[in-house]
Amino acid sequence: MASLEVAKEVKKPKPLSTNSAVAYAVKDLDVDVVSAYPITPQTTVVEKIADFIANGELDAEMIHVESEHSALSAAIGAAATGARTFTATASQGLALMHEILHIASGMRMPIVMSVAMRALSAPISIWNDHSDVMNARDAGWIIYFVSSAQEAYDTIIQAFKLAEDPDILLPVMVAYDGYVMSHTIEPVITEDRDEVLKFAPKRPFPYRLDPDNPVTMGPIADPNWFYEIKYQQVMAMERALEKAREIDEEFRKTFGRGYGIYECFMCDDAEALIVAKTSYAATLKTILPKMWEKGYKVGLLRLRLYRPFPVEDFKNILDKVDAVLVIDRAISYGAPLQGPLAMEFSSLIVKEDLKLNLTSVVAGIGQRRMIDSDFENLVKLAWESRTKKYDRTIFYGVRL
Amino acid sequence: MSTKLYRSLFDFPREERFVSGHRLCAGCTIGPVMRLLTKIAGKDAIIVNATGCLEVSSTPYPYTSWRNPWIHVAFENAGAVASGVEAAIKMLKKKGMLNKDIKVIAIGGDGGTVDIGLQALSGMLERGHKVMYVLYDNEAYMNTGIQRSGATPYGAWTTTTPAGKVWRGEWRPKKDIDAIVAAHRVPYVATASPAYPIDLANKFKKALDYLEEGPTFVHVLIPCTTGWRFDPSLGIKLARLAVETGMWILYEIDHGTFRVTYPVKKRKPVKEYLKPQGRFRHLTEEEIEKIQKLVDQEVERINKIVGKEVIGPVA
């Protein structure tokens, strides 16, 4: 990409972990209030932000709350008052926030939250999988999965622009792999604050708590009103799809980097696809070229914008292949397919009357090791599934 | 502190900011307390309300009784939401995005404050957010149907501490939330009653004036006609009897200095307070005597703190 070359010429990348990259984005967005509670592996996001504030590089109020429940509650209070507000969490913290997740979206609060994804207890595991975010997927938040530290930095900026758009006004989660991404260093280009703020100028909540224009927020809605208010959320979420696409396009024009709302890698002429996200998608991008040389024409559909789900785009992509293999890093116990994402693709296939085989694979639970040869196995499995049906979810790598 | 105190009801601001049309029960004593609170706070105050009777009754969408900016998020987090509002005001003012002094008032019931909201309240107090917290205490979960809370007094019938052959109503004493709040070393803690509006108003006023220094706390006893089971016309009378019997002592802790703001020379027997209330109807003479003893002990404790007899014996 020529524009990327240009950007690299002027800007020297910094060696940053994804957590640090998120903190840099928060600084460059001139966030006003940060409300967060420590939890592994999210902690270094907040530590880095604290450093920025302590050194005068960011002027923000940091609320050292006593729980994640209070972290998001305080974030709602701040956003409702008109502050640009950020929080971050993972795992048990996201689970403890669960009640308030729904309230944040129901009250249409433009809060942005990063999630360094981690398994949910029990047994307690501090390691990475996607149980936490999948458990929160129906809370009405816009959800991004990002695959690199650079994409995390860029997406936090896009997320604020999307959240604060008066036509959207929804909270946004930006999720990435705990440890595998949160604690590994990659080169990241950060932008000048002025440029970032020009791209994503602050748009305080339009109906904020203002004594000159008093509003009542969070009232009780009886059966005669509740449904319509929830349906407004449905419509806002639908609008968010095209808005997210536009914002990414504008980001590409401004900063020379763009991702779309999903990524299709080696999809031309592919006969089967693997659906993956975050670091697994990044790893697969290094595996697939080698596998094509061996005759496995398997492409990668990398999930980036997860809520709202890019239905039309995915339909057109799936329509061209004979098989799709969906990797889930969470378990939906007792469900028809135990991979929650596989179930969503399955319903897409039925809904759009597509003719292809779907294979559900659960892998990497609690950060069970997945190395190149494992991904090669999955590519082979995807290839085989063109002609072979796997009716049950495959729990890859589990000891039986 | 140079708080200018109110001397009579005629000193109160005339402006109405908590307006009629709300769905509070007939005879509920929260209404007049909120009316007074908002009058004293004035226009430039943001109100954060925990889930509870007041919240559901005053904001049935699309109506509202509040002329102040008002926000409700959930049950257990008024302290946290108020922290966020206060932090936002501070930073927006610093960055020139807001040019106004705005006070933050959090309001919660006893369940939302002493039980499920205690953690968020403690966090707010400990971090020193400049928020005035008003606890309206009707001594049970009235909004969900009179279940006991940590603030339910000894002997009281509730739907989860019924009086039967084995159970005789609530068997544990009321949680001392004011001491817990005071342990956070905040500039002002007070107990108050709707039956003493001048005392109540001055406590609200002090609590608002002291916000420059840190969080403040006012704990108001709210007789509940439906939950305490008394005639709706008796709310204020019961609030007064609570004070006159020593069941509810009006005091303030102003920068650590404890002062009883309404001394009672001769107490009435607790029986006079208990009798009109259905929640105490099951009590035997012996059980009433036990409550009398508990009150006597509490009065003795308070007098000891003050260093002299401010609350007298039962006449």
pLDDT digits (tens, 9 = 90+) for B253-308: 999 999 999 999 999 999 999 999 999 999 999 999 999 999 999 999 999 999 99
Q: Strand runs (DSSP E) across chain B, as ranges? A: 45-49, 70-72, 103-109, 131-137, 188-192, 216-221, 251-254, 257-260
The model's confidence at residue A1, banded by pLDDT at 50, 70 and 90, is very low
Residues 6+ apart with CB under 8 A from B224: B25, B28, B29, B138, B139, B140, B142
Contact A99, A68 (CB under 8 A): no
How many helices (H) and strands (E) chain B has is answered by 11, 8
Whether the per-residue pLDDT at A132 is higher than 90: the answer is: yes
Query: Given CB atoms, is A69 within the 8 Å cutoff of chain B?
Result: yes
Nearest chain B residue to A202 by CA: give it: B97
Closest-CA residue to A136 (of A92, A180, A80, A85): A92
* Interval A278-296 mean pLDDT: 98
Query: Given CB atoms, is B76 within the 8 Å cutoff of chain A?
Result: yes
Give whole-number Cα distances, A96 to A69, A330, B46, B305, in Å: 6, 18, 27, 41
Q: Is B151 helix (H, G, I), strand (E, B) or coil?
A: coil
Give whole-number Cα distances, A258 to A150, A151, A261, A304, in Å: 10, 9, 9, 12
* Interval B1-8 mean pLDDT: 84
Answer CATH for A262-395 from 3.50.30.60, 3.90.1150.10, 3.40.50.920, 3.50.30.30? 3.40.50.920
Q: Contacts of residue B71 in chain A, CB cutoff 8 Å?
A: 76-77, 80, 209, 216-218
* Interval B156-166 mean pLDDT: 97
For residue A41, cis peptide bond before it (omega within 30 degrees of 0) = yes
Whether the per-residue pLDDT at B194 is higher than 80: the answer is: yes
Whether the per-residue pLDDT at A2 is higher than 50: the answer is: no
Closest-CA residue to B219 (of B266, B178, B168, B264): B178
Query: Given CB atoms, is A125 within the 8 Å cutoff of chain B?
Result: no
CA distance B10 to B65: 23
Report angle CA B82, B87, B91 to the nearest 5 degrees.
Answer: 150
Q: Is B189 helix (H, G, I), strand (E, B) or coil?
A: strand
Query: Given CB atoms, is B5 within the 8 Å cutoff of chain A?
Result: no
- What is the interface pTM, i.e. ipTM, of the complex? 0.97
Retrieve residue B305's tokens.
């703190």
Bridge partner residues of B192 (DSSP)? B220
Domain assignments of chain A as residue spans, ordered by start: 14-255, 262-395
Instruction: Tell me what percent of chain B is helix, strand and coil, each rounded to the nearest 5.
Output: 40, 15, 45
Query: Nearest 5°: phi and psi at B305?
Result: -60, -45
Q: A225–B61: do the CB atoms touch at under 8 Å?
A: yes
Report angle CA A176, A54, A113 to the nearest 5 degrees.
Answer: 25
Give the percent of chain A with pLDDT over 70.
Answer: 98
Q: Contacts of residue B59 in chain A, CB cutoff 8 Å?
A: 216, 218-220
Q: Is B77 helix (H, G, I), strand (E, B) or coil?
A: coil
Contact B9, B198 (CB under 8 A): yes
CA distance A328 to B314: 72
**According to CATH, what is the number of the domain A14-255?**
3.40.50.970
CA distance A362 to A396: 6
Residue type, B84: G
Residues 6+ apart with CB under 8 A from B20: B65
The alpha carbon of residue A56 is apart from the nearest alpha carbon of chain B, in Å, by: 14
At A4 the pLDDT is 54
At A180 the pLDDT is 97
What radius of gyration do chain A's Cα atoms show? 21
Sheet strand arrangement including A357-362 = A262-265, A298-303, A272-277, A323-328, A357-362, A394-395
The alpha carbon of residue B81 is apart from the nearest alpha carbon of chain A, in Å, by: 4
Give the percent of chain B with pLDDT over 70.
Answer: 99
Report angle CA A397, A114, A23 to the nearest 5 degrees.
Answer: 120
Report chain B's mean pLDDT, rounded to a whole number: 97
Q: Contacts of residue B43 in chain A, CB cutoff 8 Å?
A: 211
Q: What is the dihedral of CA B23, B24, B25, B29, to 10 degrees?
A: -160
Closest-CA residue to B134 (of B5, B40, B226): B40
Whether the per-residue pLDDT at B24 is higher than 80: the answer is: yes
CA distance B107 to B115: 14
Query: Given CB atoms, is B119 within the 8 Å cutoff of chain A?
Result: yes
What is the pTM for the complete model shown?
0.97
pLDDT, tens digit, 9 for 90 and up, residues A10-41? 789 999 999 999 999 999 999 999 999 999 99
Equal fold, A14-255 vs A262-395: yes
Nearest chain B residue to A216 by CA: give it: B70
Burial of B99 (0-12, 13-18, 19+ CB in 10 A): exposed
At A6 the pLDDT is 52
Whether the per-residue pLDDT at A7 is higher than 90: the answer is: no
* Interval A97-113 mean pLDDT: 98
* Interface list for A 187-226 with B (CB within 8 A): 202, 204, 209-211, 214-222, 225
